[in-house]
Amino acid sequence: MARALRQQGHVVAFVTSADMADSTEPDGFGLIPAGPTTDEAIAEEARRSATGAPAHQSAERVGQFFAGVRVDLSLDAALEGAREWEPDLIVSEHCDFVGPLVAAVLKLPSAVMAIDPGLEPEVLDALAATARSRYFERGLEAPFQAPSGRWLLDLCPPSLQRGGALPVLERMALRPEPHQAPEGTPRAARVAGTGRPRVLVSFSTAPGASPLLGPVLRSLATLDVDLVATSGGLPADIGLDAERVEMVTFLPAAELLDGVSVVVHHGGSGTTFGTAARGVPAVVVPGTPGQQRQANRLQAAGAGLGLPIGEQAPESVTAAVGRLLAEPAFTTAAHHLRDEIAAMPSPAEVASRLVAAVGA
């Protein structure tokens, strides 16, 4: 969306923590530094929390993190930067409450981007309740629902829709696309395929973020496939021939997905929708309820299999990948998702509609 707006002659800036400069600068986008890093925000939420429940399993703690801690630590700097920058439109994703509050204070039109098949009602209620006091503190009328704004930019294709979990906002469907490198970036050299199916295992590029990766790769190596894995590093005793697996610390998804027959991932929205946009079936190994939602919707659409939290032994992952490779119905359903996504309005179309609506 940011690239589409810029291509139409508009100026785009991101409001986020200063450590995200490496992600915005290659595209030439502006950066309005505001708020803590993710790790700092997590630490502050844990300090404030009075419940022992894991953060991602407690609606109260999810609300406190996104609508409480992030707002408290980011809003003043975001407002100062926005006043100086003078935007005409604010676009935020559905768990961000800094953008909508900036829009309310500055009386600007805003759009919210829905990036997964829908949050549970109790989470939405907790987010709205936590955000409400932040509006009242500034003499503003608080929205009665979360997320809020004028427009809802919905990335979810019809077959993955969440059925009544969206707020009542003016909806614009928006075609999701796999992440691409900035224009003009040379493509990285890749290992040539052998003619066997290529399986991409995409868990995390953060060092040590996925202890499951090594065991899963060793198990998948029992199949007659080539393996590609994203990782911040592997243990020395992984026990795999280097020629059997291509390790990638980071590549844009648009490049990673080239020539892939099956993807194994955690169920993050970017990977879920990017994989679906390419028509590739997936095995989802979720770690949080939000990722489990992605897995459930994908499996219901027939375009993949989801392994329930707690039932994710490496052998189960391998068995699921084997099914996706052996049963053409999964690929057929994934192609149906791809065609649905291709029919959705492009970022350029949605950008034009938003700009026309705000008169910028």
For 269-287, the pLDDT digits (tens) are 888 999 999 999 999 998 8
Q: Which of 138-147, 160-169, 234-243 has the lowest mean pLDDT?
A: 234-243
Which residue, chain included where needed, has tokens 């496939």? 225
pLDDT tens-digit series, residues 214-231 = 888 889 999 999 998 886
Does the pTM surpass 0.95? The reply is no
- Rounded CA gap, 56 and 203, in Å? 18
Do 272 and 338 contact (CB within 8 A), yes or no? no
> Is the pLDDT reported for residue 128 higher than 60?
yes
- Rounded CA gap, 358 and 10, in Å? 13
Q: What is the pLDDT of residue 19?
A: 92
Q: What is the pLDDT of residue 97?
A: 94
| Percent share of the chain, pLDDT over 70 | 88
List own/partner pairs for 87-94 with CB under 8 A and 24 or more apart. Answer: 87/13, 88/358, 88/360, 89/354, 89/355, 89/358, 89/360, 91/1, 91/153, 91/354, 92/147, 92/149, 94/119, 94/146, 94/147
Q: How many alpha carbons fall within 13 Å on the CB side of residue 127?
A: 21
Q: What is the mean pLDDT of residues 237-243?
A: 64
Over its C-alpha atoms, the chain yields an Rg (Å, rounded) of 21
Q: Count the neighbouring beta carbons within 10 Å of the beta carbon of residue 18.
A: 13
- Rounded CA gap, 136 and 129, in Å? 11
The token duo for 20 is: 């995200």
pLDDT tens-digit series, residues 51-88 = 555 555 688 888 999 999 999 999 999 999 999 999 99
Q: Which residues pair with 265 in a beta bridge?
A: 202, 284
Q: What is the pLDDT of residue 143?
A: 86
- Rounded CA gap, 288 and 294, in Å? 10
Give the closest residue to 153 by CA, choosing from 1, 278, 357, 356.
Answer: 1
Q: Give the residue with greater pLDDT, 247 vs 201.
A: 201
Phi then psi for residue 44, to 5 deg, are -70, -40
Q: What is the mean pLDDT of residues 300-314?
A: 92
> Is the pLDDT reported for residue 208 higher than 50?
no
First-to-last CA distance in the chain? Answer: 16
Q: What is the pLDDT of residue 291?
A: 84
- Rounded CA gap, 285 and 16, in Å? 29
- Rounded CA gap, 108 and 62, in Å? 26
Q: How does residue 332 score in pLDDT terms, banded at 50, 70 and 90? A: very high
Instruction: Identify the helix (H) or strand (E) that includes residue 18.
Output: none
> Is the pLDDT reported for residue 250 higher than 90?
no
pLDDT tens-digit series, residues 7-21 = 999 999 999 999 999
Q: What is the mean pLDDT of residues 257-276?
A: 92
> Is the pLDDT reported for residue 168 higher than 80?
no
Going along the chain from its start, the domains and CATH numbers come out as: 2-175+344-358 (3.40.50.2000), 198-342 (3.40.50.2000)
Do 173 and 341 contact (CB within 8 A), yes or no? no
Q: Which of 50-64, 100-114, 185-199, 252-266 has the lowest mean pLDDT?
A: 50-64
Q: What is the pLDDT of residue 224?
A: 92
Q: What is the mean pLDDT of residues 198-222?
A: 77
> Is the pLDDT reported for residue 327 higher than 90?
yes
Q: At 5, which amino acid appears? A: L
- Rounded CA gap, 37 and 82, in Å? 19
